[in-house]
Structure 1
Amino acid sequence: MLTLLRKEWLDVKRDKKLLVGTLVLPFFILPLIGFVLYASVVSQPPIVELINNSPANSVYVNEVAFYITSHGGIVVNQNDSNVTPDVILTFPKGFYSNLTSLGGKGLVYMTVQISSNTKAQDLVDNALYNVLYNVSLSRISELINDSHTNVSPVNIREPLEVVYTYITPTHHITTQARDQLVELARIIALVLFPSATPVIFFITDGITGEKERRTLESLLASPISPMEFIVSKLFISMFLGLMSSLGDLIGIFVFSLFASFIFGVSLALSSSFAILIVVIYIETVLLTAAISLILLLIFGGSTRNIQIINFLVLSFGMVASFSALFINLAQVTFPLSLIYIIPYEQLSASLLFYVFGLPGESIFYLSVTLIASILLLFLSSRIFNPERLLLK
């Protein structure tokens, strides 16, 4: 076994292009993509042009401008000819008098440039709502003073208050942070399974490559068992698959660290949650390799069949990813519960059940996946037929 593993490693080291593409490029490409996305946000903040057709409007124009700039936007005027605004907001004459009169209605004109920064329109809408809110409180206060009643303007403006309580699927009280952690887990599941697909290429190429190099005959003629042959290919393929996807895993952790800024709440990302992600990722790679191997032995190692294998495994992963995003796995009943038969669904369930506060179920589905992967590998070693593989 050690001799075969050493041989596999030597074959990998001889292929310099494979090493560069597998181990080096992800550490440059993925950070480059992240840098471009970050630069696109930083270098292209939402730009709003404010046009004021009456000096009397200045108090509200300044209020809108302050809101936009304090929330990351840039405010320009008509004299900035070198800047193309995402949104143009025009305050016409009479806006101030209409807005300050008890029965009046202020009118503004908003011009939105198509394919522009969508955050600009959201900023303007929120800024105008802020003005609307303050003006409505002012009008309510005026009416209260005229009627000589003692009530709160805020209570009249907002007569309904909602008190939120969050519970787990087991009906235990939890926090909003836990609810946001569930959403984070769904997003992680969405990107986790497809990121493990490089191992499909490594496991299929590891076997069919021996056939193409005409070394499979001599290798199989040596005193090695089918299990040793399969395990050696599996170890090397998993190693390369893990390394090629390491950038994705790092990206997931970076995303998790900054999730509190994205969701606007404080997320307590425990070490156990991080360990669970790593374990699920490793099991994902193992299951991907096991499924790819059994399909390769069933369909054969032609180029067309390898494409079919890649399509099938990727489809399983995408089904699990989207079901984790859109389905509450803690509440599925028959016949929808049959989705657990689909590969990778168990790993989606493991991740979600953990954040649901059900560690026992999470461990159960992890164990089921591990056992299923081992059984598939054992079955592959039993049905492995060197002569049949050579003829395909």
Structure 2
Amino acid sequence: MPEQSPLDLTEGDPFGPHNLPYGVFTTADEPGRRRLGVRIGDHVLDAGAAAHALGSPYARLLAQPSLNPLLAAGRTAWRDVRRALTAWVTVPAHRADIEPLLHPLSAVTLHLPYEVADYVDFYASEHHATNVGKIFRPDGEPLTPNWKHLPIGYHGRSGTVVVSGTDIVRPSGQRKAPTDAAPVFGPSVKLDIEAEVGFLVGAPSELGRPVGLSSFRDHVFGLTLLNDWSARDVQAWEYVPLGPFLGKSFATSVSAWVTPLEALDAARVAPPARDLPLLPYLDDGADDEPGGFDLHITVRINGETVAEPPFASMYWTAAQQLAHMTVNGASLRTGDLFGSGTVSGPEVHQRGSLLELTWNGQEPVELSTGKRTFLEDGDEVTLTAWAPGPDGTKVGLGEVTGRIAPAAG
């Protein structure tokens, strides 16, 4: 009986031909040679070698050690390459060329697939922002006066964006409890997660020219799961008046896979109804394409599910975030990454951070390994997600995992 082809996937595989996310990998025999790959089932296709074998005009573009050249090539190239890849893994006549270029995922090492230019993180979930406001301002309005008028964000540190599987060293910094007379220095004791979705910019924009809502697809290549690790105690002491700094900048984890926007066409949904009018550059009421994405996220700590945040509930869309990020004339660069902000829903089990799940440590989460208010050394956090695909399929998003290592020194 002939051996089954890696291209003969189990029905319903979330990483079937309808998905085809991009990554970068190396093999054990060539650990120094990074290659652009595309995931199909539990294998990765050497995209550059496949393009060369089949005479693709994009062979040179795909024979690169990073996704950045493809990102910079623009939307026409993205569509052409995706169309070709779909044919390569589905047309029987190509199997003899493609099958030798497939590598088991278990036999490769995955790397950060793009060079991050700038990193911006937003605060776009009304449920998350309301919970945080209730925790820290119990006697005031949960939302700040500007929250429903613009997507609030901060500029992060691109150099500490790391690929899934990278250990996260517990950060140290200043912290001061309200009852303390003076700040102290040491490892964070309130290390937290933020379950997010990151959006990856491909085509750049010109300095001084804002990117409007209708140009979202011309600039954003795809999305990825993102965990914006947060030292809540460091953040609470430092963030007034200028916002997050050391409490955020020590690490941001992203998946090794980038899902192209075209793979998520069936997952587009309208955002929640808004109760305040928006300024014209943010008003998406007349858009032909819904601005939201129906992504179902699961958060696990040490293998146990602690939350299931729904991305469809996000108040501000990625297109609005991009429009706001550039409305002052700020330019986009290939490899820019912007995070959605913590994804939280209206229910307790839908909260995307331990700050909310434990109500700032007052209501510990029960795990088989013991109660948790915030993360302990050795804890491993994993985010996974799926979205509706065409014809009843599911589109899997590559997981993002990180384990907490003890503080340095």
TM-score (norm 2): 0.20
Which structure has the larger Rg over C-alpha atoms?
A: 1
TM-score (norm 1): 0.21
Structure number with greater CO (CA < 8 Å, separation at least 6) is 2
Q: Which has the higher strand share?
A: 2
Q: Which has the higher helix share?
A: 1
